[in-house]
Structure 1
Amino acid sequence: MQLFQCQACGQRLYFENVRCERCGRALGYLTDVGVLSALEPDGAAWTAYARPAGRYRFCRNWEQMGCNWMVDAAQEHTYCAACRHNRTIPDISLAENLINWQKIEVAKRRLMYAILRFGLPHPTAASGDPEPLVFEFLAEVPGGPKVMTGHDNGVITIALKEADDATREAARASMGELYRTLLGHFRHEVGHYYWDKLVRDGGHLESYRALFGDERADYGEAVQRHYRDGPPVDWREHYVSSYATMHPWEDWAETWAHYLHIVDTLEMAGAFGISITPTVGDDAGTQTRISFDAYHAGDVQTLLDAWLPLTYAVNSLNRSMGQPDLYPFVIPPPVAIKLGYVHELVARARGLG
């Protein structure tokens, strides 16, 4: 994620800002140029400082403060490039649903930012693609079925209850997870979607199976075994998380999610000009200066050489505040190889590899 700047007054801006705190101008994200822009009203539309020649409308979901992305006023679309993927949202006439849906939309836009930055395919239901990327945000109703977060043939379902901090934390603790966030759910589930697109449809099944295992293993049996027996005792030597040990599909999705964690966090660290140089010790592996575009890194080692020192620093800062580690994971060599595999497929998908 980047930092942005108000084109009218120079104020530093953050991705979710909807109004400049200094000059008061409305702000909107322009997907065609990848910039959060100051806006001026122009009749029924808006003129963007970042692209004065164009005229824009806010996404229809802006009316519920659910989206700050813009649509080209010359297009017929009423929803932005992110919200066109929504198929189902909860009943937002209910105040609690509205609040939780807004939280989900924040995480979704961060996911879609990454997809656009990578240049990954993201067909909508209207595109005619046989497996479009579709989101369903579902609330449980009394007497109705339990809503499970997951992916099925291009449809990513996020249970609305995951947006409730107390409920999500209770689930994290009861399941013994180190990390559980809305954005993490999106990144993991979209990993399953891109397994379909990049591995299965991309002709990479053999290389995938050689690294992650054979996905044809019975998934239901794998789930039962995982929750009955737990992960292998040596899982930390081969997997990024215990959940990744359950099935080759989950190993891929967990690795994919961590790749997105790494890239997006490094981009933000670079935007802040962060460098890590401990005042004691002489281990070069704890030092870094993040001065590159993480979304276009030439190889995964460039990312890891910056990521590991950054995690040592931020984890130590969190501990100083009495908080758990920001990144409570270890990246052993086999996981680094898997991350490199994801990196290469992403590069190929945008025509760089």
Structure 2
Amino acid sequence: MRSFRCPNCAQLVFFENSACLRCGQELGYDPVRRDLVAATDLPRCANAGIAACNWIPPRPGTLCLSCRLTRTRPADSDTDAMAAFAETEAAKRRLVAQLAELGLPLRSWEDTDGGLAYDLLSSRDGSVVIGHQNGIVTIDLAEAGDPHREQVRQEMGEPYRTMLGHLRHETGHYYWTVLVEGTAHLERFRELFGDERASYTDAVDRHYAQGPPADWPDRHVSAYATMHPWEDWAETFAHYLHIRDTLQTAGEHGIRVDGPEATLSADPGDVDADAEPFEGILAEWLPLTYALNAVNRSMGRDDLYPFVLPPAVVGKLAWVHRLCTDVS
């Protein structure tokens, strides 16, 4: 994420701010300029009240670029679900801003059908099937609650689970259909991730019955990624977004780590040629994660970045980087 300053007093402000805490200047995020601007005389998103949205819409009384991607939400009378909805929309705005920054296609202002959209549903009154189908990403708003999300994280044996990460993963499924499906890249995808034509239902049953293979850390970014090539893609895509966003945030705030040189734990021949353009990102990323983990340990906390990137995973991340770069 970029860093932002109040256009009136130059105080540092957060992406989520609707006003400067120092001078009181009203602020709004302009998705066209990709900046926080003085919003005193500008329209507010129609979700400003119910979702604390600080984005500027194209016209008064309308939804902003991020909020209009939400197709279904809870009723206003469901106060618990609406609180979770507001938290989820905040995470989605951060995701949408990054997708726009990368130049990945989003539904335009004029589109009413087709493209990426979200159903944000509450499982309090019935089960919610989380996932992606035909451009629609379905999210269980219970994920916005820390106790529920931590319980699921432990049950799934995941080292990391946040609403932002959850949204990045499920949205990654959509971008597989955009960047890979039906393109000349499909053959290379199958070489790296596996054949997506394998039965997804059988893969899910096998994964939950047998668990991941013992050697999964050598080839996948997470245990969940071993389930099926589609899940491997979604986990890798989400991880790529984690890396890019965190590095941008660190750079924007002048965080520099003069740590050991980042090198891959393999001979050059073991890493796919696609990894070469990604090596510069990796050379910044690994020292930063070492430092962040060391800081967390000094505070008696778990590692902020509990992952290891073997050469096979670096190759996949590099390929995702190549596809996203080609699009933008």
* 1:53 paired residue number: none
Of residues 230, 239, 242, the one that matches 1:258 is: 239
Cα deviation 1:170-211 (Å, max 9, x = unaligned): 111112111111000110011100000110143321111111
- In the alignment, is the contact (CA less than 8 A) between 1:125 and 1:134 conserved in 2? no
Give runs of aligned pairs for residues 1-353 of structure 1, distance below 5 A: 1-40=1-40, 46=41, 56-73=42-59, 78-123=62-107, 127=111, 131-142=114-125, 144=126, 146-278=127-259, 283-285=260-262, 299-350=277-328
Q: Which has the higher contact order (CA 8 A, sep 6+)?
A: 2
- 5 and 57 in structure 1: CA distance in 2 versus 1, 3 angstrom threshold: same
Q: 1:125/1:205 Cα in 2 relative to 1: closer, same or farther (>3 Å)? A: farther
Alpha-carbon shift at residue 284 of structure 1 (Å)? 2.3
SS in 2 for 1:323: coil
Q: What one-letter code is carried by the residue in structure 2 that aligns with 1:106?
A: A
Is residue 84–residue 124 contact of structure 1 (8 Å, CA) maintained in 2? no
1:70 is paired with a residue whose SS is coil
Residues in 1 aligned to 2:258 and 2:28: alpha-carbon distance in whole angstroms: 37
Give unpaired runs (5+ residues) of structure 2. Answer: 264-275
Q: State the distance in 2 between where 1:148 and 1:239 align.
A: 25
**How large is the Cα RMSD of the aligned pairs?**
1.8
- Once residues 307 and 24 of structure 1 are traced to their aligned partners in structure 2, the CA distance between those partners, rounded to angstroms, is 36
Q: Name 2:268's counterpart in structure 1.
A: none
Q: Which amino acid aligns with 1:169?
A: E
- In structure 1, what is the Cα distance between the partners aligned to 2:305 and 2:299? 15
SS in 2 for 1:285: coil
- Answer whether contact 1:199 1:208 (CA < 8 A) is retained: yes
**Aligned-partner Cα distance in 2 for 1:125–1:197:** 19
Q: Matches of 1:65 and 1:147 in 2, distance apart? A: 21
Task: Report Cα offsets for 1:6-59 as digits up to 9, x if no partner.
Answer: 11111111101111011101110001110011232xxxxx2xxxxxxxxx3111
- The CA distance in 2 between the partners of 1:93 and 1:2, in whole Å, is 36
Letter in 1 for 2:31: T
One-letter amino acid matched to 1:338: K
Structure 1 stretch 14-23 or stretch 56-65: which is displaced more? 56-65
Name the SS of the counterpart of 2:307 in structure 1: coil
Is the partner of 2:95 in helix, strand or coil? Answer: helix
Q: How does the TM-score come out when normalised to structure 1?
A: 0.86
- Aligned residues of 1:85 and 1:124 also touching (Cα < 8 A): no
Aligned counterparts of 2:306 and 2:124: Cα–Cα separation in 1: 34
CA contact (8 A) 2:43 2:61 kept: no
**Aligned-pair distance for 1:84?**
1.1
Asked whether the equivalents of residues 92 and 101 of structure 1 are also in contact (C-alpha less than 8 Å), the reply is: no
Kindly tell me: are residues 190 and 65 of structure 1, through their superposed partners in 2, closer, same or farther at Cα, counting changes over 3 Å?
closer
The CA deviation at 1:127 is 2.2
Aligned length: 316
